[in-house]
Amino acid sequence: MTPFVDIAFLILTFFIMATKMKPPEPVEITTPYSVSSKELEQKDALMIEMDKDGRVFFTMNTEKPADNELKYSLIKNLNQARNLGLSEAEMRSFVKNPTVGVPFNKLKPYLATPEEQRKTVKQEGIPVTDSANNELYYWVRDGISVFSGRQINYMIKGDNNSKYPVFKGIIDALRRNDQNKYRLITSPEAVPMGTDLYRTRGASAPTASAD
């Protein structure tokens, strides 16, 4: 049994070293595959997620923990502009967990819920599909204003089965803010053989193909 146990513990050590814990996610999202090879970076970002039922979640990520005050200013601005009536403690709870998937009129009860009970609350998603009432627009607008000119990434993480109109609603919210460059979060996939990309990526030196 000795070698067996040895191997088992070797595997165990490998997994401990090699794993990066999954960060807690508000929803289960299975991202589609793409041939893109650029890795995801942790940066100042506004992350927009959509799950398979078309619910939209907004998250504000800051690169440095010291920038947490920016999250506070975001919720404070929104509180004033939209008359949400949030208390100080509720705004602080947003700073701790800056993911929101509820319409503005449900934001107060949601943030008032203690952190441990959040999981049980069914969030209905930020409304985006109705262009007259695209609330994501305000989230993004205030996100841009608190980052005040810094380079922000717009991450869009969508589920395989979410429908296109929701995606279009997200794009619309961003485009109305004059933001036209986004990053779609995907899982890596191999490049199919024999295609143009396969040739350009595979070739170590650029070879001029015959005319």
Partner 1 sequence: MASLDTGGGDSGHKKGPGVKKAKKLSTRVDMTPMVDLGFLLITFFIFTSTMSTPTTMALNMPKDEKDPEKQNEAKASGALSVMLGKNDQVYYYEGELAPDASNFKSTNFKGIRDVIIEKKKAVIASHQHNAQCEEIRKRNNGDPNSCRDRDFVVVIKPNEEATYKNTVDALDEMTINGVKRYAIVDIVPVENELIKKTEASGGAR
Residues that bind partner 1 (CB under 8 A): 1-2, 5, 8-9, 11-12, 15-16, 18-22, 31-41, 50, 155-156, 158-168, 171, 175, 178, 180-189, 191-192, 195-198, 200, 206, 208-209, 211
Q: Which is nearer to partner 1, 19 or 204 (CB)?
A: 19
Q: Give the whole-angstrom CA distance, residue 29 versus residue 157.
A: 8
Rounded to a whole number of angstroms, the minimum distance from the CB of residue 81 to partner 1 is 24
Q: Which is nearer to partner 1, 89 or 190 (CB)?
A: 190
Rounded to a whole number of angstroms, the minimum distance from the CB of residue 96 to partner 1 is 23
Q: How many residues are there in the chain? A: 211
Rounded to a whole number of angstroms, the minimum distance from the CB of residue 80 to partner 1 is 29
Smallest CA-to-CA distance from 127 within 119, 135, 116, 118 is with: 135
Beta carbons within 10 angstroms of residue 97's beta carbon: 14
CB 110 within 8 A of CB 131: no
Q: Which two tokens stand for residue 49?
A: 């997620």
Q: Which is nearer to partner 1, 42 or 83 (CB)?
A: 42
Rounded to a whole number of angstroms, the minimum distance from the CB of residue 172 to partner 1 is 10
* C-alpha separations of 154 from 141, 157, 173 in Å: 12, 10, 12
Q: Which two tokens stand for residue 129?
A: 């599909």
Q: Which is nearer to partner 1, 1 or 66 (CB)?
A: 1
